[in-house]
Amino acid sequence: MWLASANTGLVVKEFPEGTRTAVDAARAVGCEVGQIVKSLVFVAAGMPVVALVSGANRLDESRLAGVAGEPVLKADAETARGATGYSIGGVPPFGHATEVPVFMDRDLLGYEVVWAAAGRPDSVFEIAPDRLRELSGATVADLKADPGTIPPPGLRPTSPASGEVKT
Ligand code: 5CA
């Protein structure tokens, strides 16, 4: 990817066991899940945007919409690839094929170093979060869902269809 040719000094590490998800990547690297940078592609009023989110957090779409200035929808796989040049599971935080606005979860700044996808589902690179912000040109924002507001998929109610979660 772009990293290979750019003079960033960043080192890509390849893990044959795979780094497709944040949990996979954290296990491979041996770091906290929160140190893994998820590069999530959304579409805001027809325009792709990328959200860099700590692997420990769930993105609150209404918060992303707030900073993007438009309602957002998760990009489908084809749109994500078209906008960034990379397939889901390997989308890097910068070096995208098109000019994509980037927003960054503030929590990532709380780690000394974080790890992000290097363009493939088996490769990541280590970077200080401040450098990540600089290289991605990201706008730092509060993007995470408050705990409890979005239950993980396995815990979402399936019936009744519009049922509320009572905890
Ligand atoms: N390599 C890892 C860690 S750096 C990685 O890329 N993780 S990720 O979170 O940035 O990418 C996976 C994300 O892609 C998932 O969290 C999910 O939000 C999104 N995703 C997975 N499948 C699809 C799909 N079919 N369409 C749109 N988005 C998807």
Residue pLDDT, tens place only, 20-59: 999 999 999 999 999 999 999 999 999 999 999 999 999 9
Yes or no: say if 59 and 65 are a contact pair by the CB < 8 Å rule. Answer: no
**Quick check: is 152 in a domain?**
no
pLDDT at residue 130 greater than cutoff 60: yes
36 CA: nearest ligand 1 atom: 4
Instruction: Give the chain's domain count.
Output: 1
Give, using CA atoms, the residue closest to atom 11 of ligand 1.
89
Give the contacts of 5 (CB within 8 A, at least 6 positions apart): none
CATH code for position 93: 3.90.960.10
Residues with CB under 6 A from ligand 1: 19-22, 25, 36-40, 74, 76-77, 88-91, 116-117, 121, 124
Residue pLDDT, tens place only, 48-95: 999 999 999 999 999 999 999 999 999 999 999 999 999 999 999 999
What is the 8-class DSSP label of residue 28? H
**Quick check: is 166 in a domain?**
no
Confidence category of residue 147, pLDDT binned at 50, 70, 90 = confident
Could you give the dihedral angle defined by the CA atoms of residues 116, 78, 64 and 137, in that order, rounded to the nearest 10 degrees?
50
